[in-house]
A and B are shown apart, each in its own frame.
Chain A
Amino acid sequence: MTQRTTLDLVDTSGPPTAPSTEVASAHPSLILGEHSLCPGCGEPVALRLILETLQELGVVQRSIGVVGHGCYGSFVRIMDIDVLQCLHGRAPSCATGIKRVRPDSVVFTMQGDGDMVNEGLQEVLHTAARGENVTCILLNNGVFGDTGGQQTATTVLGQRTKTSLEGRAAAEHGYPIPISDLVASLQGVGYVARGAVSTPGGVAQTKRMLRRAFESQLAGEGLSLVEILTMCPTGWFVPASEGPGYQSESMETVYGIGELVSRRGEQS
């Protein structure tokens, strides 16, 4: 009872007068400010996982990010990481140039599905085939979120978008591209996995995947790719609260979650 009484005495009618130490320390120090993405968006979750992973691996001060174009492009402003923002689709090529001249750096790309799988399909495939020792992170929400919800190469069959109003039909729009499976089929990759941030368990699993991907780069195993399925309630035209459920029922039933390639421990 005494405990309950103490708790009941906390004044919740306004914000706390001093920030909670616990909350402050949980805020990743590599995030410099507030993001401007929509409520319910999965991309800020992914960003936090990426930055926490770099911190935990102790490689922050040799990390260089390459960011493509999409809603997540605004992360350039809030990531306390050296960043090149490049043209739509070209991040793996730019990362190649950086890594070749600075082999000791930890180089990662962040791209959306429109960026990587539409415009930049060639770049990521060739970068994987060349075995470039960089980590590519795909934030896959199955639409062009930034431009307002049009169909991309990863939009699943049946999904309604602004350019497939009756739902994506194979006869009219073709089939979605499972990019991680394509990349996994190539020699030159050290680690390929697909995670999702729609559930707490998925977030934890995705974090482990990111760690393994960066460890793969540090071990010099070739290209590592983590595809992260992220919610885009705005582009999907669903309420923010329904984003995770919608993602679980649509994308996650089409694209399998899990590791596709893991060379850790293999003798090269």
Chain B
Amino acid sequence: MSLELLSGSVAITRAAITAGCRFFAGYPMSPFTGLLEAMSRELGPAGGTCINAESEIEGVNMTIGAAAAGARAATGSCGQGIALMQEAIAEGALNETPFVVFNMARNQQDYFQCTRGGGWGDYRTITLAPKDIHEAVEHTQLLFHLADLHRAPTILYGDPLLAQTLVGVDVQPLELDPLPAKDWALDGSLSGTGRSRQVWTWAMGKATDPGLGPDGHWRAVAEKFDRIAEQEQRHEAIAVEDADTVVVAFGSAAKFAEHVVEELRAEGHRIGLFRPITLWPFPGAALAEATRRARRVLVFELNAGQMLDDVRQWAHDRDTVRFVGGVSIGESGLDYGPLLDVPVIKQRVLAALDLEPARS
């Protein structure tokens, strides 16, 4: 094991290359920019291509092309840029091209965007929200694997802390199950044989070999996402077995919340943490189980309460759910504001426990 001091952006780039990513296209937007810069430095020497695309729309469509031709490919941006990509992410989900989208977001206000999408059609996007850079290195590799396994775009939901913090990290390849061959990928080799391939949202097949057509194809895609929803839920539950209070948080905010929970545990409170690792599929059954004995379920996220919807839907008793997070944006607009602070989170949790009044 050899640790190297790397920013999250560089660590994620190394993890993507380790996973076999050989095509990347993106358009600069902070705090995603560092990832694009790292890709432009490191992908070429690794035998790949990184394009500084002229817009997010071009970047994501280049990525669809590379993925349709069978390469492991990725793109990225943050909130507003991802919004421009949503049409193509939906297209990728419906025409079944696998690629990874790195949302190095400015904050946690992209939860709906990642989990609900903004494109057309019956699709979802597998979204992983790492709590730190070490986990992001694993998630990056896992997302390429899941994209290929399910033939669907996947999203890494990062943030400024993940993109810009430096840590000692050792990027090691994950051991993952073998994947089926990409016999659907376009390489031209079957052109002119009567068996040529198509990657097409409408899947109407060739005149000599009709495909499923839109109805059959879109039903199959919907069923696939139902299966993914069952299979791919991931979560972490800390000290929830005897907890009468469960804090729910994701991403970087969960790391802060975890620290608060540890402090309060040490002070004798029966409190635990539930962290959805997959934001979609949301680990609903696990949350229901984790909150079965809780009298309070406190949601801490740095937005106006987006994951709150999912927690209310899945908590064992929705009447126990309280929101203790909120919108919190730094002066620059490019990172978090004052709510992402252990003493602040602790005070909010204590206030919700009715042990100390809130002062913020």
When distances are taken between beta carbons in the complex, the residues of chain B under 8 Å from A194 are none
When distances are taken between beta carbons in the complex, the residues of chain B under 8 Å from A71 are none
Partner-A contacts on B (CB < 8 A)? 22-23, 25, 49, 51, 53-55, 57-59, 61-71, 73, 87-88, 91, 95, 186-194, 196-202, 204-208
Q: Are A101 and B23 touching (Cβ within 8 A)?
A: yes
Q: Are B65 and A66 touching (Cβ within 8 A)?
A: yes
When distances are taken between beta carbons in the complex, the residues of chain A under 8 Å from B67 are 97
Closest CB-CB distance, A36 to chain B, in whole Å?
Answer: 10
Q: Any chain B CB within 8 A of the CB of A116?
A: no
Q: Are A82 and B187 touching (Cβ within 8 A)?
A: yes
User: 6 closest Cβ contacts across the A-B interface?
Assistant: A97-B65, A33-B207, A94-B65, A97-B66, A93-B61, A60-B192
Q: Are B88 and A84 touching (Cβ within 8 A)?
A: no
Kindly count the residue-residue contacts between A and B in the assembled complex, taking CB atoms under 8 Å apart. 160
When distances are taken between beta carbons in the complex, the residues of chain A under 8 Å from B199 are 83-85
Centre residue among A32, A93, A95, A130 by max chain B CB count within 10 A: A93
Closest CB-CB distance, A133 to chain B, in whole Å?
Answer: 13
Q: Any chain B CB within 8 A of the CB of A217?
A: no
Name A97's contact: one of B64, B187, B196, B201 (CB within 8 Å).
B64
Q: Are A106 and B188 touching (Cβ within 8 A)?
A: yes
Residue of A nearest to B185 (CB): A82
Q: Are A61 and B91 touching (Cβ within 8 A)?
A: no
A residues contacting the other copy or chain, number (CB 8 A): 41
Q: Are A97 and B54 touching (Cβ within 8 A)?
A: no
Closest CB-CB distance, A13 to chain B, in whole Å?
Answer: 30
Closest CB-CB distance, B47 to chain A, in whole Å?
Answer: 11
A90 vs B87: C-alpha distance in the bound complex, in angstroms?
A: 11
When distances are taken between beta carbons in the complex, the residues of chain A under 8 Å from B62 are 93-94, 96-97, 100
Q: Any chain B CB within 8 A of the CB of A218?
A: no
Q: Are B191 and A63 touching (Cβ within 8 A)?
A: yes
When distances are taken between beta carbons in the complex, the residues of chain A under 8 Å from B204 are 76-77
- 11 A–B pairs (Cβ distance < 8 Å), ordered by A: A60-B192, A76-B198, A76-B200, A77-B205, A78-B207, A83-B198, A87-B61, A87-B87, A94-B65, A122-B54, A126-B54
